[in-house]
C-alpha cells in the first residue's frame, strides 16, 4: 500500500501532466487522469459555460460539480478555493465577490499555479491570487475566509480529516463552505481500489458518503446539507482496464455507487478555534 506521501507525489505528477492537456482530453477521462474513454462525454463535471465569470482558458473539465453556483458568495467576501487548478472556480467566485472582495486559490501542483497565474494576469484581475501549498496545511492565516469552495479535490487527499480541520481554521466565525466531491455507497471492487490511475482520477480515493458527512460534523460544522447529488457512471471501456468481465458485471449489478455531492456547512458564529481547544 503506497504511503500518503507517495499518493501525493502521484497526484502531483498526474496533475502536472493534466495542466498541459486540452479540455476535451480531460472531459473524456476520470478527472483528466488519462484513462480516456471512447464514449466522449464528460464523466464528472457539470457545464460551467453559462455561469458569470466563466473563462474557457481556465476550464480543464476536472470538476465533479458546480460549488460556486451554490456557495452564496456576496459582494466583498473573501473566498478560498481548495485545489484551484487553472483558476476556473476562482474566476467565477471573483465575479460574485466583485472588485471589493478577494479570492485565494490554493494548489500544490506548480504547473497548475503557473497556468492559473497566467490566466489571472491575462484577465487583469488584481484581487485573485494563487498560492502553492498543501490543503492539509494551508498557507493562510486563521479566520480570514467568508467562504471556502472546492471542486473534486478532497477525494485526492489522504488525510481528509486534516483538511476539514484546516477549513474550520481558515473560515471566519459564521463563515461557510460549499464543496463538490466524489463519495461512495458500498465498497469498490479491489481492482479499482488498488488502481493508482483511478486514485488520480478521483475515484479510488473517495470515501463512504456517511463517513464524509461524519467528518464534517465531527470537526464542529453545523447546518450541514447536501445541495446537489448525482451518480457518476464510468464507461465500461475505462472499467475494463481494471476489472475482468466477471468483476465488471458484478460491479454493474451490485448496490455500489459512485456519486458526486455538493455539501454546504457553516462554522458556528461563536467559534474562535477548532473544536475542543476552547
**How would you write 172-214 as a 3-class SS string?**
EEEEEEEEEEEEEECCCCHHHHCCHHHHHCCCCCCEEHHHHHH
Three-state DSSP class for residue 230: strand
Categorize the per-residue pLDDT at 28 as very low, low, confident or very high, splitting at 50, 70 and 90.
very low
pLDDT at 196 over 60: no
Domain ranges, residue 253: 4-266
Check if the beta carbon of residue 85 is closer than 8 Å to that of residue 112.
yes
Check if the beta carbon of residue 28 is closer than 8 Å to that of residue 36.
yes
Segment among 39-53, 72-86, 190-204 with least mean pLDDT = 190-204
CA atoms of 146 and 144, how far apart (whole Å):
7
Domain-embedded: residue 45: yes
pLDDT at 199 over 80: no
pLDDT at 128 over 90: yes
In this prediction, what percent of the chain has a pLDDT beyond 70?
A: 77
What is the mean predicted confidence (pLDDT) over 163-190?
A: 92
- Which DSSP category does 137 fall into? B
Per-residue pLDDT, 212: 96
Q: How many CB atoms lie within 10 A of CB 252?
A: 12
pLDDT at 170 over 90: yes
Per-residue pLDDT, 133: 95
- Tens-digit pLDDT profile for residues 72-116: 999 999 999 999 999 999 999 999 999 999 999 999 889 999 999
- Tens-digit pLDDT profile for residues 237-277: 777 887 888 888 887 887 777 888 999 999 999 865 555 55
Residue that wins the pLDDT comparison between 54 and 76? 76
Segment among 3-17, 44-58, 158-172 with least mean pLDDT = 3-17
Per-residue pLDDT, 225: 98
pLDDT at 161 over 80: yes
Domain-embedded: residue 275: no
Domain-embedded: residue 273: no
Sign, CA dihedral 51-57-61-65, equals negative
In whole numbers, what is the pLDDT of the chain averaged over residues? 82
Closest CA to 19 of 96, 107, 121, 100: 107
pLDDT at 137 over 60: yes
User: What residues are paired with 107 via a beta bridge?
Assistant: 132
Per-residue pLDDT, 197: 47
Place of cell 471589493: 100
Per-residue pLDDT, 21: 55
CA atoms of 203 and 183, how far apart (whole Å):
8
Number of domains the chain is built from: 1
Check if the beta carbon of residue 63 is closer than 8 Å to that of residue 88.
yes
Residues 6+ apart with CB under 8 A from 268: 173, 174, 220, 222
Domain-embedded: residue 276: no
Categorize the per-residue pLDDT at 167 as very low, low, confident or very high, splitting at 50, 70 and 90.
very high
Domain-embedded: residue 145: yes
Categorize the per-residue pLDDT at 200 as very low, low, confident or very high, splitting at 50, 70 and 90.
very low
Question: And the C-alpha cell for 200?
Answer: 488520480
CATH code at position 182: 3.40.50.150
Torsion of CA 178, 182, 184, 188, to 10 degrees: -170
CA atoms of 177 and 89, how far apart (whole Å):
13
Domain-embedded: residue 247: yes
Check if the beta carbon of residue 36 is closer than 8 Å to that of residue 205.
no
First CA to last CA distance, the chain: 38
Sign, CA dihedral 121-126-128-131, equals positive
Domain-embedded: residue 177: yes
Domain-embedded: residue 233: yes
Three-state DSSP class for residue 223: strand
Per-residue pLDDT, 2: 64
Amino acid at each position: 500500500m503506497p504511503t500518503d506521501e507517495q499518493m501525493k507525489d502521484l497526484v502531483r505528477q498526474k496533475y502536472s501532466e493534466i495542466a498541459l492537456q486540452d479540455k476535451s482530453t480531460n472531459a473524456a477521462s476520470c478527472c483528466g487522469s488519462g484513462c480516456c474513454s471512447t464514449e466522449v462525454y464528460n464523466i464528472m463535471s457539470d457545464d460551467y459555460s453559462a455561469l458569470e465569470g466563466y473563462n474557457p482558458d481556465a476550464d480543464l473539465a476536472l470538476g465533479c460539480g458546480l460549488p460556486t453556483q451554490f456557495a452564496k458568495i456576496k459582494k466583498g467576501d473573501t473566498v478560498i478555493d481548495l485545489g484551484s487548478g487553472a483558476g476556473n472556480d476562482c474566476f467565477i467566485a471573483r465575479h460574485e465577490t466583485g472588485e471589493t472582495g478577494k479570492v485565494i486559490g490554493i494548489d500544490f501542483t506548480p504547473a497548475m499555479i503557473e497556468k492559473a497565474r497566467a490566466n489571472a494576469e491575462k484577465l487583469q484581475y488584481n484581487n485573485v491570487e494563487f498560492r502553492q501549498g498543501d490543503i492539509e496545511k494551508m498557507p493562510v492565516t486563521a479566520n480570514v475566509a467568508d467562504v471556502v469552495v472546492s471542486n473534486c479535490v478532497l477525494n485526492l487527499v489522504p488525510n481528509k480529516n486534516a483538511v476539514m480541520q484546516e477549513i474550520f481554521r481558515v473560515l471566519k466565525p459564521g463563515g461557510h463552505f460549499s464543496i463538490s466531491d466524489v463519495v461512495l455507497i458500498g465498497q469498490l471492487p479491489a481492482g479499482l481500489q488498488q488502481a493508482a490511475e483511478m486514485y488520480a482520477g478521483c475515484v479510488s480515493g473517495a470515501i463512504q458518503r456517511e463517513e464524509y458527512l461524519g467528518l464534517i460534523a465531527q470537526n464542529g460544522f453545523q447546518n450541514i446539507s447536501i445541495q446537489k447529488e448525482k451518480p457518476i457512471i464510468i464507461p465500461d471501456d475505462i472499467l475494463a482496464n481494471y476489472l475482468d468481465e466477471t468483476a465488471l458485471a458484478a460491479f454493474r449489478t451490485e448496490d455500489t455507487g459512485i456519486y458526486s455531492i455538493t455539501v454546504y456547512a457553516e462554522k458556528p458564529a461563536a467559534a474562535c478555534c477548532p473544536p475542543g481547544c476552547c
